[in-house]
Amino acid sequence: SAKIVGGINDEEGLQAMVVAIDGSTDRPDGSTYHITWSLDRKRGRKAVQSNDVIAKRGWRPLDNPVPIRIIPARF
């Protein structure tokens, strides 16, 4: 099962939602499961920067996690 459990808005053109999969937000590589929700390409932002922002700034939990349906994939 998967749920959106929190998020981060760095106020510099990047927003990401943190996802828990089977109760954990921790990916095997040590980063955090997330969905890049919004980014400002005019400011040079890239989706790959979401992990750095989450690692440096942390994230804020939601009061009520939102269940989502996910499909396993590799990019």
- Predicted local confidence at residue 74, as pLDDT: 79
19 bridge partner residues: 4
The structure tokens listed for 1 are 């099962």
In a domain, 34, yes or no: yes
Count of domains observed in the chain: 1
Distant-in-sequence, close-in-space partners of 21: CB < 8 Å, separation ≥ 6: 1, 2, 33, 70
Residue 26 lies in a domain: yes
- Asked if residue 47 is part of any domain, the answer here is yes
Domain that holds residue 33: 2-64
pLDDT tens over the chain, length 75 residues: 999 999 999 999 999 999 999 999 999 999 999 999 999 999 999 999 999 999 999 999 999 999 999 998 877
Which pLDDT score is estimated for 17? 98
Tokens 């440096």, residue? 56
Is residue 70 situated within a structural domain?
no
Indicate whether 12 belongs to any domain. yes
DSSP state of 15: E
